Each structure stands twice: as C-alpha cells, then as structure tokens.
Amino acid sequence: MSKPKVLFLCTHNSARSQMAEAFVKKYAGDRIEAKSAGLEPDRVHPFAKQVMEEVGCDMSGHSSKDVTDFLGSEHFGYVITVCANAEARCPIFPGPCIRLHWPLEDPAAFEGTDDAKLAKFREIRDQIDAKVRQWLSEIGLSS
C-alpha cells in the first residue's frame, strides 16, 4: 500500500504552503509525502524560514515550485489550498483527490516594521501548526 500524498497550494508558494509542508514532514515523517506549490511561484520568504527555524523546522532546502510541475505527473490524495486565490484557481488533478481549503491570512502581505511582520508570521505559523496537527489526527497520522 502506498503512502498518502498531500499537496499544499497557495499563490506564491513562499510562506503558508511551505510552512504546512514542513509541519507535515515534522509530525508525520515518512508516513506521508508532503509537497507544496504555487500558482505564481516566488522565492521562499526569509521570515517564513526564520519563524519555522524557531520551532525546529529547517526550511533551508525549500524552494518555491510551480503547480504545473505536478499536473499529470503525480497523483495527490489530498490537495489543500491555503488562500482564496488558490482555492478559486486550483487546477483539477486527475484521479480521486480530497480537496480541502484552509483560509489563512498571507503574512507576506502584512505591512509594518520587521518586528510586526515577524509577529504576523509567527501568528500564521501557529495557526498552520494547529491545522496540520488536527488534519493529521483526522486522517489517522497523528504522532
């Protein structure tokens, strides 16, 4: 039996989807294959890497990926969109797939001082952490 696969999708694949992928890998290890992608990929935001490092998730090897790289080449049992834009524009993946939507605020769009921006990234990181833990429990893969 093959292990489940999940794709986290957002607009830029720079923060929310990257953090969700990292948390799944942290909590479920090799029991699930987690990936992330964007509709308009950009660089992984440095604050995303910084706040994830604070909770023991090394994202130094993460890079932003285009969702089209996965279309037709991989089957995902789960596709989870983490922003309204990705939910509205999510492509159809072949085969049976459970689509979920986690509406999360984009921390990269937050304006303010660096300290305020970091606080917003931490807030969203903690929301993603809770969502990932809950979802893994629901599908029977909690640690």
93: pLDDT strictly greater than 90? no
- Among 32, 83, 128, 132, which one carries the catalytic annotation? 83
Where do the domains of the chain lie, and which CATH numbers do they carry?
A: 5-138 (3.40.50.2300)
User: HSE of 49 in the Cβ direction (CA atoms, 13 Å)?
Assistant: 12
User: Is 79 a residue whose pLDDT tops 70?
Assistant: yes
Q: List the catalytic residue out of 6, 7, 10, 136.
A: 10
Q: Quick check: is 90 catalytic?
A: yes
Each residue's pLDDT tens digit, 34-76: 999 999 999 999 999 999 999 999 998 999 999 999 888 888 9
Dihedral sign from CA coordinates of 50, 21, 102, 74: positive
The whole-number pLDDT of residue 84 equals 86
Which of 26, 33, 74, 90 is the catalytic position? 90
pLDDT range class, residue 87, cuts 50, 70, 90? confident
For residue 10, indicate whether it is catalytic.
yes
The whole-number pLDDT of residue 8 equals 97
Q: How confident is the model at residue 86, as a pLDDT?
A: 83
**Mind listing the pLDDT tens digit for each residue in 98-136?**
999 999 999 999 999 999 999 999 999 999 999 999 999
Phi, psi (degrees; rounded to nearest 5) at 10: -140, -175
Q: What was the pLDDT predicted at 143?
A: 61
pLDDT interval class at 94 (50, 70, 90): confident
Active site residue 83: yes
Position 1 scores a pLDDT of: 59
Place of tokens 């957002």: 10
Q: Residues 91-102: what's their mean pLDDT?
A: 85
